[in-house]
């Protein structure tokens, strides 16, 4: 088993690199397709042609885009992410200042959303087609049916403006203590939780409902096993594989999907950095953040698949 | 305590069908004494499982016990809360399911699942349950009884799982065990081993049993009394021996009669060989075992060759090789004197047209979103270029040939019964005007009476159209009814082949004898006698063959 598992992991990592390459190309083409470049973005529309030309020359933007891309790629592969075009700081410096904040937000939201989502899913499966089940479904579905930023603004209007419980701007800083940090980031966490819990809850519910119809659950009932034990001993061990998949995809979403949330709450994370950089057409920073987001997604997906295999007793205990 | 262990009186069970409660068990009654085994017989939809299960106070989701009384040891079960019923289930009344593979939880070992009921019901400690488990495993003739309990369900074979499940049912010393088709999914040679192990273990403990099956010959071996059910009604009830000897009702007689399928062949000319499989060896990609080893088979024009064997014998793989789904690693397939291209891609439309297939599961072999008109019309258009009115007219003709009413042409597969679906599949194969039809277990999923109708139809079509059949099956009754030649396969090789009479009459090849002797007979003493002869070494057993 370990052999085939390692082979699969190796294959997937190889494919992952290919994905990253494709994404970097897409980003290059995409940013290039936007009107203007960093010089027009910084200098504004009023700038004279000479100033813009001088800016182009200083930033080496006169060369064809593919040449610049290949150069970036060669450097990137060697671990050099280049320098920001806007302020000449290294991309590494910019990114490392922000990545911790984004991971903190993802971890914090996951810790709230995942246990809650799974628990709600199990309860909804047990009491399926009751008022509770429907209520939960309607609530969670409505939170994912509206756009992320809308949920964010509603929460802000409610908890920051109307009741002033939490701050509207989540400007965390390194100097903050644990509680202060948690307090300041409460609204982004709540938003992320609300928009991800529906997936978690519905997938958990679906996989448990599916399992509850299987012959070995009927067998357990006919052995006179109590309902709680049927769930914990007979359903859950077999439900892990699908649930793990959703959980990890959600963690990936928490890392990657924060872009808009960060902007709304002015949260100093990678997503906000990316959005700022796209506005400035700051290619090296856009590329670096895109690569980080994409790798996180690829790696977490791989992790999900590996865990799903490990969770399957048929694969764990071979004949 | 009364004399009767279980008394079910006037039980009405209803199912929720499209929002209406419809009766599926119609005021049935049953009594069971200690140590007695009662057989519930019937075709699918007879309500036999539903009725059997209600002895646990249980109904499948979507069903309810509407009225009646179920008394276990004098205690009424109907109307009891779940918590009270739980104390009975797996404790006083235990259940053995049809598919052991699906009914064991894949996440736990056999012994963990064995111990669960006795421990949870407070009858034993975990350590005591383990001892008892090993003891029962030994009694049920499971290999390595001391350690087999540590294995996971997927690590043991189907027959062993079924025995492990019987052990599990016996675990907490129940008064009654409900057996729900426990051997239906097994090969005949395995079935008899499991049946005799079950019978012995149950008799030794004086446990009462409700044995649910569609197979009269199986129930003849197990039951003291038989109830024949149909559409939720009782047809006939009585002592097993008496009923088998003298069935009172016509329906019971028909169930008994299907075992002896009549033969009405007009023999084909048999002069020219249509298909020849020549020294074929094949393995699945990425594996190292040859699932077919040096197989040679001939099919003559207008004749039927039956390929018989247990699961894993390679008989379905042979079909895959002939159709080109699995190119052989050696040997060739010759059709009408010409070598067929090995892989599907290289085959011409003409190659494809002349060999058609009919599958076991008619359900999944048809597109559920297509009407019968399209299902049968498609090969007419694809192979023969028939369109429009010509196509429609031919579909009607084919429907007539398979004895399906004309107006079915606008129906979807889901609106048809199992037997009707299989007829449509036959019509679809016929539409291509093939010379050879490969039938892969085409009657295995059907009730006996329906299967008989299908076999009749296939035979009539052969007489009429001079088609050849390659008939893949594990069911020897089917073989007896339809084959001209028989090929017996075992573990990827051919044990013997030849004309039907030569194979089915003595002297037998050992494996053929094992197969033939394992087919349950109506004689209630058949199994005990056979087991005794096998024990004395007078008849071959699966064990001795495996050791070779």
What per-residue confidence (pLDDT) applies to A1? Answer: 52
pLDDT for B446: 83
The total of structural domains in chain B comes to 2
**Domain final residue pick, B223, B257, B291:** B257
Distance from CA of A19 to the nearest CA of B (A): 28
Whether B287 and B222 share a structural domain:
no
CB contact under 8 A, B105 and A226: no
Please check whether residue A162 touches B, CB under 8 A.
no
Are B88 and B231 in the same domain? yes
Q: What is the pLDDT along chain B (548 residues), one digit of tens a residue?
A: 457 899 999 999 998 888 889 898 999 999 999 889 999 998 887 889 999 999 999 998 888 999 999 999 889 999 899 899 999 999 999 999 888 888 999 889 999 999 999 999 999 999 999 999 999 999 888 888 999 999 998 888 888 898 899 999 998 889 999 999 888 878 888 888 888 888 888 888 889 999 999 888 888 889 999 999 998 899 999 999 898 888 899 988 888 776 555 555 555 455 688 899 999 999 888 778 888 999 999 999 888 999 998 887 888 889 989 988 889 999 999 998 888 888 888 888 888 999 999 988 888 889 989 999 999 999 999 999 998 899 999 999 999 999 889 889 999 988 888 889 999 999 999 999 999 999 998 988 888 888 888 898 998 899 888 899 999 988 888 888 888 899 999 888 998 998 888 888 888 888 888 888 888 888 888 888 888 888 888 777 777 776 65
Do B461 and B509 belong together in one domain? yes
Do B33 and B64 belong to one domain? yes
Cβ neighbours of residue B397 closer than 8 Å, sequence gap 6 or more: none
Q: Considering only CB atoms, which chain B residues are within 8 Å of A314? A: 106, 152, 154
Contact A224 B103 (CB under 8 A): no
Closest listed residue to residue B164, CA positions, set B179, B148, B186, B184: B148
Domain interval for residue B486: 273-367+433-521
Interface contact B283, partner A, CB < 8 A: no
Question: Which tokens hold the place of A159?
Answer: 């908890």
Element (H, E) at B238: strand B233-239
Q: Is the Cβ of B220 closer than 8 Å to some Cβ of chain A? A: no
CB contact under 8 A, B97 and A215: yes
8-state DSSP, B118: H
Q: Do B221 and B109 lie in a common domain?
A: yes
Contact B4, B33 (CB under 8 A): yes
**Cβ pairs bridging A and B (under 8 Å):** 78
- B58·A319 Cβ contact <8 A: no
SS3 B108: coil
In a mutational test of the A interface, the residue from B107, B115, B150, B171 whose CB has the highest number of chain A CBs within 10 Å is B107
Is B249 within 8 Å of B266 (Cβ atoms)?
no
Q: Is the CB of B123 inside 8 Å of chain A's CB atoms?
A: no
Neighboring chain A residues of B95 at a CB cutoff of 8 Å = 219, 222-223
Task: Tell me, yes or no, whether B146 and B75 share the same domain.
Answer: yes
Q: Are residues B300 and B164 in the same domain?
A: no
A221, A234, A319: residue with CB nearest B105:
A234
> B152 vs A214: CB contact, 8 Å cut-off?
no
CA dist., res. B46 & res. B25, Å (int): 8
| Sequence-distant (≥ 6) Cβ neighbours of residue A4 within 8 angstroms | none
What would the two tokens of residue B410 be? 């606008």
Instruction: Say yes or no: B305 and B164 in one domain.
Output: no
Which residue in A175, A200, A190, A203 sits closest to A265, CA to CA?
A: A190
- CATH label, A92-316, candidates 1.10.3720.10, 3.40.190.10, 3.30.70.1150, 3.40.30.10: 1.10.3720.10
Instruction: Write out the DSSP string of B154-192.
Output: GGS-HHHHHHHHHHHHHTT--SEEEEESTTTTS-HHHHH
HSE at residue B371, side-chain half, CA atoms within 13 A, is 8
> Of the residues B257, B282, B304, which one is the last residue of a structural domain?
B257
Alpha-carbon distance B230 to B251, whole Å?
Answer: 9
- Is residue B136 located within the same domain as residue B246? yes
User: What CA–CA distance (Å, rounded) separates B211 from B220?
Assistant: 10
Candidate from B91, B103, B106 with C-beta closest to A219: B103
In-domain check, residue B78: yes
Task: Give the chain A residue nearest B86 (alpha carbons).
Answer: A224
* DSSP label of A170: -
Residue A233 at interface with chain B, using a CB cutoff of 8 Å = yes
Per-residue model confidence (pLDDT) at position B262:
52
Q: Considering only CB atoms, which chain B residues are within 8 Å of A233? A: 108, 116
- Cα dihedral across residues A244, A246, A249, A253: positive or negative: negative
Does B352 fall in a domain?
yes
Collect all residues of chain A within an 8 Å Cβ-Cβ radius of residue B102.
214-216
Contact present, A285 and A91 (Cβ < 8 Å): yes
Write the Ramachandran bin of A309: left for phi over 0, alpha for psi from -120 to 50, otherwise beta. Answer: alpha
Q: Are residues B280 and B253 in the same domain?
A: no
Give the pLDDT score at B1.
46
Give, for B100, the enclosing helix (H) or strand (E): helix B100-103
Residue B361 maps to a domain: yes
> Which member of A225, A238, A314 has the closest CB to residue B120?
A225
Q: Is B329 on the interface with A (CB under 8 A)?
A: no
Q: What is the C-alpha to C-alpha distance for residues A170 and A202, in angstroms, rounded to an integer?
A: 30
**Cβ B455 vs Cβ B259: under 8 Å:** no
* Contact between B103 and A216 using a beta-carbon 8 Å cutoff: yes
> Dmax of chain A from CA atoms?
86
pLDDT tens digit at each of 319 positions of chain A: 567 778 888 888 888 889 899 999 998 888 888 877 778 777 777 777 888 888 888 777 778 888 888 888 888 888 888 888 777 788 888 888 888 888 888 889 999 999 999 889 888 888 888 888 899 888 888 888 888 888 888 888 888 888 888 888 887 777 778 888 888 888 889 988 888 888 888 888 888 888 888 889 999 999 999 988 988 889 888 888 888 888 888 888 888 877 888 888 888 888 888 888 888 888 888 888 988 888 888 888 888 888 887 877 777 776 5
CATH code for position B163: 3.40.50.300
- Are B203 and B278 contained in the same domain? no
Asked whether residue B543 is domain-assigned, the answer is no
Within 10 angstroms of residue A51's Cβ, the number of other Cβ atoms is: 13
Q: What is the residue extent of each domain of chain A?
A: 2-77, 92-316
Residue-level pLDDT at B436: 94
Answer whether A3 touches B (CB < 8 Å). no
Are B62 and B160 in a shared domain? yes
The pLDDT tens digits for A151-179 are 888 888 888 888 888 888 887 777 778 88
Is position B153 within any domain?
A: yes
Q: How high is the ipTM of this complex?
A: 0.77
Mutation choice for B interface testing from A216, A236, A311 by most B CBs within 10 A = A216
| A226 in reach of chain B (CB within 8 A) | yes
Paired with B25 in beta bridges are B13
Q: What is the structure's pLDDT at A40?
A: 78
Start-to-end CA distance of chain A, whole Å, equals: 11
- The answer, for B87 touching chain A at a CB cutoff of 8 Å, is yes
């Amino acid at each position: 088993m370990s052999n085939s598992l390692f082979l699969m992991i190796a294959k997937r990592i190889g494919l992952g690199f290919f994905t990253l390459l494709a994404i970097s190309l897409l980003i290059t083409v995409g940013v290039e397709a936007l009107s203007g470049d960093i010089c027009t973005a910084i200098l504004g529309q009023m700038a004279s042609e000479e100033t813009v030309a001088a800016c182009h020359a200083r930033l080496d933007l006169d060369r064809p885009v593919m040449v610049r891309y290949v150069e970036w790629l060669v450097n990137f592969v060697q671990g050099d992410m280049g320098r920001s075009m806007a302020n000449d700081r290294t991309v590494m410096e910019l990114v490392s200042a922000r990545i911790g904040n984004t991971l903190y937000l993802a971890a914090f939201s996951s810790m709230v959303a995942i246990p809650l989502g799974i628990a709600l899913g199990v309860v909804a499966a047990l009491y399926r087609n009751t008022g509770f089940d429907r209520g939960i479904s309607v609530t969670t579905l409505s939170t994912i049916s509206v756009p992320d930023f809308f949920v964010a603004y509603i929460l802000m209007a409610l908890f920051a403006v109307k009741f002033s419980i939490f701050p509207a701007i989540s400007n965390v800083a390194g100097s903050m203590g644990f509680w202060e940090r948690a307090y300041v980031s409460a609204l982004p966490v709540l938003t992320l939780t609300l928009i991800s819990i529906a997936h978690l809850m519905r997938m958990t519910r679906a996989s448990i409902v599916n399992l509850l119809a299987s012959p070995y659950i009927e067998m357990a009932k006919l052995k006179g096993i109590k309902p709680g034990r049927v769930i914990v001993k007979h359903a859950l061990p077999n439900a892990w594989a699908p649930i793990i998949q959703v959980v990890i995809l959600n963690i990936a979403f928490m890392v990657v999907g924060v872009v808009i949330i960060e902007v709304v709450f002015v949260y100093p994370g990678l997503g906000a950095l990316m959005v700022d950089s796209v506005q400035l057409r700051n290619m090296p920073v856009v590329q670096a953040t895109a690569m980080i987001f994409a790798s996180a997604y690829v790696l977490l997906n791989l992790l999900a698949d590996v865990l799903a295999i490990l969770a399957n007793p048929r694969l764990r205990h071979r004949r | 305590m009364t004399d009767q262990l279980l008394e079910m009186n006037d039980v009405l069970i209803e199912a929720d069908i499209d929002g209406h409660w419809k009766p599926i068990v119609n005021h049935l009654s049953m009594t069971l004494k200690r140590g007695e085994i009662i057989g519930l017989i019937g075709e699918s939809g007879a309500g036999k499982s539903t009725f059997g299960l209600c002895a646990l106070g249980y109904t499948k989701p979507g069903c309810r016990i509407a009225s009646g009384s179920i008394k276990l040891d004098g205690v009424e079960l109907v109307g009891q809360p779940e918590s009270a019923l739980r104390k009975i289930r797996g404790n006083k009344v235990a259940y053995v399911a049809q598919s052991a593979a699906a009914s064991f939880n894949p996440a736990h070992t056999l012994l963990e699942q064995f111990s669960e009921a006795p421990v949870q019901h407070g009858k034993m400690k975990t350590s005591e349950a383990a001892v008892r488990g090993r003891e029962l495993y030994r009694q049920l003739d499971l290999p390595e009884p001391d350690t087999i309990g540590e294995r996971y369900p997927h690590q043991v074979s189907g027959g062993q799982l079924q025995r492990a499940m019987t052990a599990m049912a016996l675990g907490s010393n129940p008064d009654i065990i409900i057996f729900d088709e426990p051997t239906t999914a097994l090969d005949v040679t395995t079935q008899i081993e499991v049946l005799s192990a079950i019978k012995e273990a149950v008799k030794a403990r004086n446990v009462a049993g409700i044995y649910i099956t569609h197979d009269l010959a199986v129930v003849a071996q197990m039951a003291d009394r038989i109830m024949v059910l149909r559409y939720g009604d009782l047809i006939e009830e009585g002592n097993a021996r008496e009923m088998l000897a003298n069935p009172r009702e016509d329906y019971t007689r028909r169930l008994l009669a299907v075992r002896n399928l009549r033969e009405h062949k007009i023999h084909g000319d048999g002069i020219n060989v249509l298909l020849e499989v020549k020294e074929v060896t094949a393995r699945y990609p990425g594996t190292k075992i040859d699932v077919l080893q040096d197989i040679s088979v001939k099919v003559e024009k207008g004749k039927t060759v039956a390929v018989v064997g247990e699961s894993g014998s390679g008989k379905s793989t042979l079909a895959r090789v002939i159709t080109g789904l699995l190119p052989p690693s050696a040997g060739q397939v010759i059709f009408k004197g010409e070598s067929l291209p090995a892989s599907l891609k290289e085959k011409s439309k003409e190659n494809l047209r002349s060999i058609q297939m009919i599958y076991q599961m008619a359900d999944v072999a048809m597109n559920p979103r297509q009407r019968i008109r399209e299902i049968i019309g498609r090969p007419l258009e694809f192979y023969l270029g028939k369109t429009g009115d010509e196509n429609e007219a031919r579909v009607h003709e084919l429907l007539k040939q398979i004895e399906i009413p004309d107006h079915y042409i606008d129906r979807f597969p889901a609106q048809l019964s199992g037997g009707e679906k299989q007829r449509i599949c036959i019509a679809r194969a016929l539409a291509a005007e093939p010379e050879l039809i490969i039938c892969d277990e085409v009657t295995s999923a059907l009730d006996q009476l329906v299967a008989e109708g299908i076999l009749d139809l296939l035979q009539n079509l052969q007489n009429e159209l001079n088609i050849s059949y390659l008939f893949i099956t594990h069911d020897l009754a089917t073989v007896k009814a339809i084959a001209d030649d028989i090929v017996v396969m075992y573990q990827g090789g051919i044990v013997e082949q030849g004309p039907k009479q030569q194979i089915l009459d003595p002297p037998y090849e050992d494996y053929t004898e094992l197969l033939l002797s394992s087919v349950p007979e109506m004689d209630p003493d058949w199994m005990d006698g056979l087991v005794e002869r096998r024990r004395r070494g007078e008849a071959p057993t699966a064990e001795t063959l495996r050791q070779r």
